[in-house]
Amino acid sequence: GNSVTQMEGPVTLSEEAFLTINCTYTATGYPSLFWYVQYPGEGLQLLLKATKADDKGSNKGFEATYRKETTSFHLEKGSVQVSDSAVYFCALSDPSKAGTALIFGKGTTLSVSS
Amino acid sequence: EADIYQTPRYLVIGTGKKITLECSQTMGHDKMYWYQQDPGMELHLIHYSYGVNSTEKGDLSSESTVSRIRTEHFPLTLESARPSHTSQYLCASKGWDSYEQYFGPGTRLTVT
């Protein structure tokens, strides 16, 4: 079945450091891939998405590239800020099953200190 | 910005009480979902709906029930709350032709 594996946290960084959060997936066919972010006390917000191989999703300085050959969708940011502290979820959606829910990874907590 | 609402945001209730968590969206989305989020932050799908009068159980077994009488409304009910039900409950919706889900702010439930 489809699944998502992302690196375990917590990830602790200083402000302006480089961020990578690894995400790999197992899926039949060609899934769409997402990164969601959850700030303390809030629901999930879509951060970025990619719907086909080699697509790069980007938003708010975050980027992730859909790599079919390595089944990966790693999240990166060149210079993190304290305000980026949150929980990040990698997720996939099976395009052959438009009605089904997303499949989420377990989440990675990011803590950025000044 | 997504228009999906959940009430209450926080609820503390005693064991044995009946509770209903409300979820409403104004985007006209057919599909709606309930997730339970454990303290380790992992999300588990507990219910979903494809449209009015459609409800299905998710991957995680739950003692809660849901209903979908109107497109915009997807309430979740616990007939008799127990401490094991203490969790964060997140509601989400998406349109028929989209793979992107929109989430509400969540309800944090504590059963004492």
Question: Chain B residues contacting A, CB < 8 Å?
Answer: 6, 31, 33, 40-43, 45, 48, 50, 58, 90, 92, 96-97, 99-106
Q: Is B43's CB within 8 Å of A104's CB? A: yes
Mutate one of A4, A38, A87, A89 to test the B interface: name it (highest B CB count within 10 A).
A38
Q: State CA B70 to chain mean position distance.
A: 15
> How far, CA to CA in Å, does A82 sit from each of A5, A13, A14, A45?
25, 9, 8, 18
Q: For residues A55 and B100, which has the higher predicted lDDT (pLDDT)?
A: A55
Q: Is residue B87 pLDDT above 70, yes or no?
A: yes
- Give every residue of chain A whose pLDDT is below 70, as ranges: 95-100
- The rounded distance, in Å, linking the Cα atoms of A46 and A37 is 6
Q: A107 and chain B: CB distance < 8 Å anywhere?
A: yes
Q: A34 and chain B: CB distance < 8 Å anywhere?
A: yes
Q: pLDDT band at residue B1, thresholds of 50, 70 and 90? A: low
Give the pLDDT confidence score for residue A97 in this predicted structure: 58
Mutate one of B7, B43, B93, B94 to test the A interface: name it (highest A CB count within 10 A).
B43
Give the pLDDT confidence score for residue B59 in this predicted structure: 78
Residues of B in contact with A34 (CB under 8 A): 99-100
Long-range contacts of A45-53 (CB under 8 A, 24+ apart): A45/B103, A46/B100, A46/B101, A46/B102, A47/A75, A47/A88, A49/B99, A49/B100, A51/A95, A51/B99
Residue environment code for B56-83, b if the CB has 16+ CB neighbours within 10 A, otherwise e: eebeeebebebebeebbebbbebeebee
Residue environment code for B21-35, b if the CB has 16+ CB neighbours within 10 A, otherwise e: bebbbeeebbbbbbb
Residues of B in contact with A43 (CB under 8 A): 6, 90, 103-106
The pLDDT mean for chain B works out to: 92
Q: Taking every pair of C-alpha atoms in chain B, what is the biggest distance, in angstroms?
A: 42
DSSP states of chain B: ---EEEE-SEEEE-TT--EEEEEEESS--SEEEEEEE-TT--EEEEEEESSTT--EE-SS--S-EE--SBTTB--EEESS--GGG-EEEEEEEE-TT----EE---EEEEE-
pLDDT digits (tens, 9 = 90+) for B40-82: 788 888 999 999 999 998 878 788 999 999 999 999 999 999 9
In angstroms, what separates the C-alpha of B111 from chain A's closest C-alpha?
A: 18
Q: pLDDT band at residue B99, thresholds of 50, 70 and 90? A: confident
